[in-house]
Amino acid sequence: MSTFTIDTKTSRATPSPVPGKRMTAPSLRARKVDGKTEQPIVMLTAYTMRMAQLLDPHCDMLLVGDSLGQVIYGLPSTIPVTMEMMCAHGAAVVRGSWHALVAVDMPFGSYEGSPEQAFASASRILKETGCAAVKLEGGEAMAPTIAFLTERGIPVIGHVGLTPQAVNMLGGYGARGREEREAHKIIADAKAVSDAGAFSIVLEGVLEPIANEVARAVPAPIIGIGASTECDGQVLVTEDMLGLFERTPRFVKRYDDLAKRIGEAARTYAEEVRARSFPTPDQTYKPKS
């Protein structure tokens, strides 16, 4: 068993409140009734224990996205992300949360080969992290795999539209569905993934009318990112919405400007160290008299 709980005596963070009941895949699926979702599903990405602690009270789901490849590791895409990375970060996010459902992305190459390969990878993710769901990219072609996992007790979130693991086939990260044939395929993909048993579906980077149609036509809750206001929920990469990067996609709303604030804090610290105004006697240990 490689999952641990936080030692509240040694952790720097305020201990978690009394553990409550976590959100579940069936309860989130049940939010959409007759094609409508009264209370939108709130999802953010988290890769670390501390960020999970801060986001957890406000979210229905925390996604340990393979976007950690770019955001945490500085990789050029999600393609080099490994199972080891996803399991280590997934376990950290589970340790830092008590309310939200934690879902972990299946990395590229860990599920596309066959339903059996997907089951081996997904069960490893569930065992090593303690998470309650996995997410995988792909539409109709992945439907048999999604059915195989869900029939064997593994809740799955689908991901259609712009699927970043397929960047080499797509030729970039631009919005999808500009051609009629592709628009029809995105709608068919979402329906197939829902019919296969996914309890929700991330719909990324598609033209608004397509997103509206998917949200209306597909029974599973649709979680939009660069999609539309009519989706059943929304997800953003947390570091994007906190303003940790200079460049963000058009669909991101910045709720803070952390890059600027961190830079200012680091500059003040550096100036004080150089001026010998930090540390002061307040930050030093005194012998007991």
Which residues does the annotation mark as catalytic?
A: 204
- CB closer to ligand KIV, 104 vs 154: 104
Does residue 66 touch ligand KIV according to CB under 6 A?
Answer: yes
Shortest spacing between CB 135 and ligand KIV, in angstroms: 7
Residue type (1 letter), 39: Q
Secondary structure letter of residue 57 according to DSSP: G
Instruction: Select from 37, 59, 62, 105 the one that contacts ligand KIV (CB under 6 A).
Output: 105
- CB closer to ligand KIV, 95 vs 159: 159
Part in contact with ligand KIV (CB under 6 A); list of ranges 7-15, 24-32, 64-72, 272-280: 64-72
- CB closer to ligand KIV, 32 vs 159: 159
Does residue 65 touch ligand KIV according to CB under 6 A?
Answer: yes
Cβ-based neighbours of 86, under 8 Å, separated by 6 or more: 64, 66, 68, 104, 105, 106, 107, 125, 129
Shortest spacing between CB 83 and ligand KIV, in angstroms: 15
Chain centroid to CA 36: 23
Shortest spacing between CB 39 and ligand KIV, in angstroms: 20
Q: What are phi and psi of 271, to 5 degrees?
A: -65, -40
Instruction: Select from 235, 238, 243, 244 the one that contacts ligand KIV (CB under 6 A).
Output: 235
Q: Which helix (H) or strand (E) holds 82?
A: none
Instruction: Select from 28, 37, 41, 45 the one that contacts ligand KIV (CB under 6 A).
Output: 45
Alpha-carbon separation of residue 75 from 72, 144, 165, 221 (angstroms): 8, 31, 13, 31
Shortest spacing between CB 146 and ligand KIV, in angstroms: 16
Does residue 162 touch ligand KIV according to CB under 6 A?
Answer: no
Shortest spacing between CB 205 and ligand KIV, in angstroms: 9
End-to-end CA distance of the chain: 47
Does residue 232 touch ligand KIV according to CB under 6 A?
Answer: no
Residue 124: Cβ within 10 Å count: 14
Cβ-based neighbours of 47, under 8 Å, separated by 6 or more: 64, 65, 68, 71, 72, 89, 92, 93
Given the DSSP bridges, would you call strands 36-37 and 222-225 parallel, antiparallel or unpaired? unpaired
Does residue 131 touch ligand KIV according to CB under 6 A?
Answer: no
Binding site for ligand KIV (CB under 6 A): 45, 63, 65-67, 105, 159, 202, 204, 225, 235, 237
